[in-house]
């Protein structure tokens, strides 16, 4: 979701389903125009516009499947095509 109006512990944001007031206490201060990864009304991470577009495309793909359509991996999950899956750094044995 994109921040429209930032407040002390919340932000009015706009996304796929319109506007919503998002709790930003886990993020700290946010700024108008920033993109947030949100879940159940709370901001989880500040992300860049490129990652926001990838998340949006993936959600489009999931909606296509939920509606009974066929998924186009190249279109909806372009960041996953032609690469090996990787574990997050905190799960890797060789982290350091």
Write out pLDDT tens, residues 1-23: 999 999 999 999 999 989 999 99
Domain boundaries, the chain: 1-47, 49-84
- Sequence-ordered strand ranges (E) for 1-96: 2-6, 10-15, 18-23, 35-39, 42-47
Write out pLDDT tens, residues 26-39: 999 999 999 999 99
CB distance 31 to 40 below 8 Å: no
- Domain 1-47, CATH among 2.30.30.140, 3.40.50.2000, 2.40.70.10, 3.40.50.300: 2.30.30.140
pLDDT (0 to 100) of residue 87: 84
């Amino acid at each position: 979701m994109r921040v429209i109006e930032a407040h002390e512990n919340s932000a009015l944001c706009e996304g796929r389903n319109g506007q919503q007031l998002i709790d930003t206490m886990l993020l700290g201060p946010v700024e108008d125009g920033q993109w947030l990864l949100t879940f159940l009304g709370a901001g989880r991470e500040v992300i860049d516009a490129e990652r926001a577009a990838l998340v949006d495309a993936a959600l489009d793909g999931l909606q296509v499947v939920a509606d009974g359509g066929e998924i186009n991996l190249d279109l909806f999950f372009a960041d996953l095509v032609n690469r090996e899956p990787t574990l997050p750094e905190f799960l890797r044995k060789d982290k350091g």
